[in-house]
Amino acid sequence: MIQYETMNFANGIILAILALVAAIIILANKIFFPHHRIAGIYMFIIAWIPFIHSLLIKKKWIMQQEHAAISYLSHFKIHIIVGIIMAIVVYVVLTLYPAAQTPFANFTNEQIEQALDEDEILLTYLDDRLKRNFDNALRSKIFETDFTKISNIQKEKLNEFWNTHTEVLLELDLIKERYKTSYQLNKKTQKELRNKAFINGFTAQLAQHHYTLTLIKLIENKDIITFFNEQKPNIPKNTYDHLKSMVTDTDELLRLATGRMYMSFLANTNTSLNPFIEKYLISLGDSTKKYASLVATKPLEFLEKSSAKLWFPIQKKFTHDISFVRASNRDYHITPKIIKPYAEKLLPGDIFLQRREWHATNVGIPGFWTHSALHIGTLANAQTYFADLPELKETSFKEYIQSKFPDAYEQWSTKDENRFPRAVIESKRPGVIILSLEKSARADGMVALRPKNLTKEDRFKIITQALPHYGKPYDYNFNFVTDNEFVCSELIYKSYTDISQLNLKLRDFSGRPITTPNEIAKKYADEFETQHAELELIFFLDGNEKNKTITEKTAQDFITTWQRPKWHAASDFLE
């Protein structure tokens, strides 16, 4: 009987852990988006069922331990209560009266007054700058940006807004921190200075809350949040989330509440900041519901982000390790000898779709075509092709690339380990790299597609929009909103930004906008022989698993390939 209870207890705990892991995976990967939070909570609740059942099995033993614990703790009841009260008091005192020394410790009263007046003027300027920044953003409608159709100009406007917003909020934070210790000024001999110092710090804090809440209210697009959370020059990763969390931080809310009460005693203090304080307090009063909403959703967001932090390294390592797994040791069907005659048919900007059989990663990538790459040509050929381009003015193509993209130029100008010149940029396991056509084409099936009606200027723009991403890591999160990491089809998509001749549509995948190589193949098939067809086929090399051969096939053959099952190679043995 004891053995049976122990076994059931262990099984219940195991089931509870498995359900908890499932909840973490759902939240981290946003499975069932946009209902992933509800699904994750349900799974979390389900995890409690076997856990509680396991506890009931051991109820008698637990009750014995509980009785002993309660009996022991009852002797220290008053000590525990006093200890909790003391901890709360210490927390409040340290929050409102930080122990750090005031930066005005060695200042004369005249120097302090001068600093206060300068910061008072600065706070007025910062408020005006933030207000104008929001006015410009609303006028240009950047908060309505659709990331499935975003242009470079829209990205620049979003970056301009975000750079200004974070820069000013940092200035406000510095002012707020500077005056946290204003209580250390003598309340008798420096009373007026002490009051003005408090008002400066409190105004900076109110401004931070006011403009952060204003931003939160305006942004309904989750992709803009992802964009703002991306690490940028001088802006740390997850800055938007940090600002959002700041407005519901317990330290901040405590200082706001006490500061509001203290302001009632300073009504007669002469300062130009009073209108701003009044404006901020009215705004924050109107934002009570938003505060409540942020506080209510904070645990869920914390759970979701914690799940993502916990799961992402596991997902990344698994995806990375599985990319080495191949169920066959045979050579790929397309060899350097086979691809060589097709090189002369290619132009800069051509798009490759590729298929490599027996790779474990094929299982997780949607569709038959699992990889894409961008042909940029050898550096020597590109130098000749773009020689008469007006944009280059008096410089050569090589000189232009070397000056603008030195790291990419360094690799592009070298030959690979087999002495083949590099001609293809793509994102693979090592990140965004430049390979030779011969190495990139080592696959079991390959198609080259070309957007119609591209000018030489368009092709130059495509290359110069691809090269800035050279060296960036592979995007194991598969999110096209961010620009710091790349998957293969994301590089194609962003290289063709603002190129009107090719419109690649993004679709929602667990709350993230993406497109896949197979969807590019489907686009060609859907538009085949129509007036609005944007792509033309340059060549299609199809592999045969049984004969280990490659055959050049027609566009009519290619248009059905996007529908091929993942086990298509096996069908070759049935013919």
What structural domains and CATH numbers belong to the chain?
97-122+141-264 (no CATH), 336-574 (3.90.1720.10)
Cα 431 to Cα 427: distance, rounded to the nearest angstrom: 5
Cα 434 to Cα 411: distance, rounded to the nearest angstrom: 7
* Residue position matching structure tokens 């852990």: 17
Question: Which residues make beta-bridge pairs with 352?
Answer: 373, 448
Per DSSP, helices labelled H in 30-75 are 36-57, 59-73
Question: Which residues make beta-bridge pairs with 450?
Answer: 536
Indicate the SS3 state at residue 169. Answer: helix
Q: Is residue 446 within 8 Å of residue 355, measured between CB atoms?
A: yes
pLDDT at res. 62? 65
∠ CA(485), CA(398), CA(337), 5° rounding? 75
pTM, rounded to two decimals? 0.73
Cα 174 to Cα 114: distance, rounded to the nearest angstrom: 17
Question: Which residues make beta-bridge pairs with 363?
Answer: none
pLDDT at res. 272? 87
pLDDT at res. 3? 47
Cα 386 to Cα 375: distance, rounded to the nearest angstrom: 15
Please report the beta strands in 316-415, taking only residues with DSSP state E, as ranges in sequence order.
Answer: 351-355, 371-375
**DSSP per-residue string spanning 284-303:** HHHTHHHHHHHHHHHHHHHH
pLDDT at res. 301? 60
What are the structure tokens assigned to 575, written together? 């013919």
What are the structure tokens assigned to 437, written together? 């056509």
What are the structure tokens assigned to 175, written together? 């002012």
pLDDT along the chain (575 residues), means of 10: 54 80 74 72 80 73 68 69 81 83 88 92 95 94 88 91 94 92 87 91 93 90 89 87 86 88 78 88 78 63 56 58 66 94 96 90 83 96 93 90 96 95 94 96 96 96 96 87 91 94 86 88 95 96 91 95 85 67
Per DSSP, helices labelled H in 369-455 are 379-385, 397-404, 406-412, 437-440
Cα 429 to Cα 434: distance, rounded to the nearest angstrom: 13
